[in-house]
Amino acid sequence: MLFHLCALALLLTITTASLLASLIEPSVSHVRRQAAPLCSQYAYHAANGYEFNNNDWGRGSATSGSQCTTVDSTSSSGVKWPTTWNWQGGQNNLKSYANVGKQFSKGLIVGNIKSMLPRIQWDYQPRDGSSVDYELMVWLARIGCVYPIGNKVTTVNLAGFNWDLYVGPNGSMKVFSFIPADGSWKFSFNADIKVFLLPI
């Protein structure tokens, strides 16, 4: 999830080097804090095959403020975590990219993937290391002044929704971003992520 003062973009991220698929598990039977809050800039925690990163990489654009990510629970079926922040200043600048990823073995062949079926629930409550060649982002919401990398190249219908596909470079990495074409927020999402590989 990409958090900053004026915008929120909730997305799934897949990288070819470590093949990350961000998951939220809404119904873990036991909710318990598994680690101290991750509050430093690149605070990191790994548990049960998941990696958490507070990653407030753009905090220097704020005049003051802070952010913390807390690991509530992890299980074989998913994870649950909140990220809270309070930033002042730099209203139109990105502050962070708090995220959780599921890491698979390197060398996994995309063509051998039969399906990737995340179950996601999220909420937004406002208050006053690898070398990667490609990245796939599926945005479930775009709120405020955050924009995808690159330019729009087409609109496609996948998983029952229309998506604008943006393509552009992030350094040496090529990024493919699917954005809801109608601007709606996908509060519930259940689809085979492999279909998003077909247009690219």
For residue 111, give every residue at least 6 positions away whose Cβ sits within 8 Å of its Cβ, in sequence order, or none: none
Q: Kindly report, residue by residue over 13-44, the tens digit of the pLDDT.
A: 544 333 333 343 433 333 445 667 999 999 99
For 15-60, give the secondary structure using H, E and C.
ECCCCCCCCCCCCCCCCCCCCCCECCCCCEEEECCEEEECCCCCHH
Amino acid (one-letter) located at 127: R
Amino acid (one-letter) located at 21: A
* Candidate CATH numbers 3.30.70.100, 2.60.120.180, 3.20.20.140, 2.60.40.10; the one for domain 2-197: 2.60.120.180
Whether pTM exceeds 0.75: no
Confidence band of 90 (pLDDT split at 50, 70, 90): confident
Q: Kindly report, residue by residue over 97-155, the tens digit of the pLDDT.
A: 999 888 777 788 888 888 888 888 888 887 664 567 888 999 999 887 788 999 999 99
pLDDT at 71 over 80: yes
Q: 161: exposed, middle or buried (C-beta count within 10 Å: 0-12, 13-18, 19+)?
A: middle
Query: Average pLDDT, stretch 5-13?
Result: 44
CA angle 10, 158, 24 (to 5 degrees): 30
